[in-house]
């Protein structure tokens, strides 16, 4: 069954509350001050059953301009509006402001109820109808039905109920399988139960026992009890007015404007990328960096509007902007909002959230404007793809995408699979976490790495390549190390690059020596072998070849180390491979015949000094050839 919320809107004292009482038999004004003054101050809530058997929630919003925040909190999640105009007064200032707000907030369904019709004659009523018709032109209420009623005499009420029932059948079903979100519009306590919050459940479902979080305050709790229309339920669904009894939370910790959702499913923000539209009848333009009041969900926040493609926004115009907030909030792409001046207080426009957790944007950046244009017109898949393309050196997993976009993980995975099938993304799995990487980013990463390798090969033609860890840290260092290694291994498997030992190079690169370099190589080997088992400092090799360019000589030494013609011990000592293999063989032979060896014994076997013996033994420990225990070494394996 589809769950619907009906709302009222219109000028103060035009009979909204009386109309609801005529429809439901219930009084929505509950405060003493409301009853004494005869006006609605706070939101009123009730429900009634339609002829079709469907139960509809109904929200009564205040009409006075001083309580516009309360009105804005009430229209969140409304499916159908009863737009109220009193026959004896006609269209008034708050009539027009409420109409502009409803249009900007994206309400699609509704009709007009002309109240107090019994107080005027037919001729006057026709004049009021014409005035209303002119006022709603170009809005969602254009061509909507007008029903004159007398709430006190109950005339026209049946026709109102019939129209509600008819329109309710055409209201789009809400996605109960989405992540649940409940913008909080009331907080109170009930003795014996504790803290209760209420709101309209915008999406998904909530269950008794769910672990929930109050955003953006990061307060965690558990649902102790749920009520829908004053009836205890085990589960509440999108489109219902819900009262949530929370455990271990105090009333003063929560306020209107907070949002209840499952733990960890939303991300707080101080900025929003938006598409904003000014109302047509505004008498001034809006400058870049204007300070405004933002109404988002049930929240009210001061912000500055940064226009991204112009310096002024004229009445009736639309533009991309970034709202920089003075307090934290949470939002989701496609959320609607209202903007108002705060002194004097009046509505200037509103719009739609495009990116709920953006970075600070530069103005007049064509790439940013193109990205926002895609998000403005695009589907969920487009939003995911756009996120995957962003942050060239950061890769998101499915859980992070889910939190960033406030989407179910299963929905994100479903969309990612579509991108994978379309060859727009490559999927990596690390410890059961799925990381989709967009082909654009993967291609850019490949180009960047191969470009650096090419430059390195040109500069150091005798070196086999750049250490793998150096490439990973430089280009993938903001991600988990294992993910970085996995991506590099993927590039190797695709033959974009190749690996030799711990070095990366281009696939077709192989260092080779000229005849002159071959002669120098043999000279170095002969020099090292004259040292027998005594280790030789690299500086000594440089000193023995002063006529050779030091950089060229250094490259040749790197080459010889990689080809194992010479062996590097510790950080700066060299030994010829022949002498190294002999030293290793002597050590192994001794340990096969004896349980262990000491540095002194090894020194004597090599006929060298203690420092050399210890350096070689520490090297063999490091490569897991031997194992040290105190001053003794044992053969491994």
Q: Are 334 and 379 in contact (CB under 8 A)?
A: no
For residue 56, give Cα distances in angstroms to 37, 98, 132, 367: 28, 22, 27, 45
Sheet containing 573-576: which strands, arranged edge to edge?
536-537, 573-576, 566-569
Six token digits for residue 155:
């005339």
Enumerate the active-site residues. Answer: 13, 16-17, 64
Question: Which among 201, 218, 235, 169 is positioned nearest to 1, based on CA atoms?
Answer: 169
State in Å, rounded, how far the first CA of the chain is from the last one.
Answer: 71
Check if the beta carbon of residue 325 is closer than 8 Å to that of residue 290.
no
3-state secondary structure of 489: helix
For every residue of 251-278, DSSP letters joined together read GGG--BTBEEEETT----EEEEEEEEEE
CB 300 within 8 A of CB 326: no
* Cα–Cα distance, 348 to 280 (Å, whole number): 9
Q: How many Å separate Cα 542 from the centre of its chain?
A: 56
Query: Whole-angstrom Cα distance, residue 208 to residue 188?
Result: 19
Asked if residues 47 and 229 have their Cβ atoms less than 8 Å apart, the reply is yes
Dist CA 4 CA 178 (whole Å): 17
Render 577-593 in DSSP notation, one character per residue.
HHHHHHHHHHHHHHHHH
- Within a 10 A sphere around the Cβ of 16, how many other Cβ atoms? 28
């Amino acid at each position: 069954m589809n769950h619907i919320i009906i709302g009222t809107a219109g000028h103060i004292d035009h009979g909204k509350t009386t109309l609801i009482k005529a429809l439901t038999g219930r009084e929505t004004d509950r405060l003493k001050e409301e009853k004494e003054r005869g006006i609605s101050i706070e939101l009123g809530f009730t429900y009634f059953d339609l002829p079709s058997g469907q139960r509809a929630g109904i929200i009564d919003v205040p009409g006075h301009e001083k309580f516009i925040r309360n009105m804005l909190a009430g229209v969140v999640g409304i499916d159908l509006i009863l737009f109220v105009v009193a026959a004896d007064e006609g269209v008034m200032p708050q009539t027009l402001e409420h109409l502009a707000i409803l249009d900007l907030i994206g309400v699609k369904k509704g009709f007009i109820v002309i109240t107090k019709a019994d107080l005027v004659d037919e001729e006057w009523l026709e004049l009021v109808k014409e005035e209303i018709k002119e006022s709603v032109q170009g809005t969602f209420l254009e061509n909507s039905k007008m029903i004159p009623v007398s709430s006190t005499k109950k005339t026209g009420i049946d026709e109102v109920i019939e129209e509600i029932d008819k329109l309710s059948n055409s209201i789009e079903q809400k996605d109960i399988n989405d992540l649940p979100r409940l913008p909080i519009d009331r907080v109170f306590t009930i003795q014996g139960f504790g803290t209760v919050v209420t709101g309209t459940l915008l999406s998904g479902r909530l269950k008794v026992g769910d672990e929930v979080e109050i955003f953006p305050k990061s307060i965690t709790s558990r649902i102790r009890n749920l009520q829908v229309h004053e009836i205890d339920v085990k589960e509440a669904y999108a489109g219902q007015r819900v009262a949530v009894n929370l455990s271990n939370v105090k009333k003063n910790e929560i306020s209107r404007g907070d949002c209840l959702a499952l733990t960890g499913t939303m991300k707080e923000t101080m900025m929003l990328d938006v598409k904003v539209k000014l109302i047509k009848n505004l008498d001034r333009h809006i400058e870049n960096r204007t300070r405004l009041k933002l109404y988002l969900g049930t929240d009210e926040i001061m912000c500055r509007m940064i226009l991204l493609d112009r310096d002024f926004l004229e009445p009736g115009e639309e533009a991309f902007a970034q709202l920089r907030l003075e307090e934290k909030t949470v939002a989701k792409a496609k959320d609607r909002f209202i903007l108002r001046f705060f002194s004097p207080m009046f509505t200037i426009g509103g719009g739609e959230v495009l990116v709920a957790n953006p970075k600070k944007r530069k103005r007049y950046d064509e790439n940013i404007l193109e990205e926002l244009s895609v998000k403005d017109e695009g589907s969920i898949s487009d939003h995911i793809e756009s996120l995957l393309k962003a942050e060239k050196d950061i890769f998101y997993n499915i859980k992070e995408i889910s939190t960033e976009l406030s989407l179910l993980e299963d929905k994100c995975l479903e969309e990612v699979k579509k991108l994978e099938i379309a060859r727009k993304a490559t999927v990596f799995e690390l410890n059961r976490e799925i990381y989709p990487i967009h082909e654009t980013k993967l291609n850019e990463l490949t180009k960047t790495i191969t470009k650096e390798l090419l430059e390195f090969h040109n500069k150091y033609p005798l070196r086999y390549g750049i250490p793998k860890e150096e490439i990973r840290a430089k280009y993938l260092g903001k991600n988990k190390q294992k993910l970085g290694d996995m991506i590099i291994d993927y590039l190797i498997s695709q033959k974009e690059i190749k690996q030799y030992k711990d070095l990366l190079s281009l696939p077709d690169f192989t260092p080779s020596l000229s005849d002159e370099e071959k002669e120098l190589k043999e000279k170095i080997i002969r020099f090292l072998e004259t040292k027998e088992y005594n280790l030789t400092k690299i500086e000594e090799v440089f000193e023995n070849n002063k006529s050779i360019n030091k950089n060229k000589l250094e490259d040749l030494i790197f080459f010889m180390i990689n080809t194992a013609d010479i062996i590097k011990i510790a950080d700066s000592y060299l030994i010829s491979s022949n002498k190294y293999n002999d030293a290793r063989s002597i050590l192994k032979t001794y340990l096969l015949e004896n349980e262990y060896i000491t540095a002194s014994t090894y020194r004597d076997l090599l006929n060298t000094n203690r420092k050399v013996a210890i350096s070689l033994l520490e090297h063999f420990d490091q490569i897991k050839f031997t194992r040290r225990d105190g001053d003794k070494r044992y053969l491994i394996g």
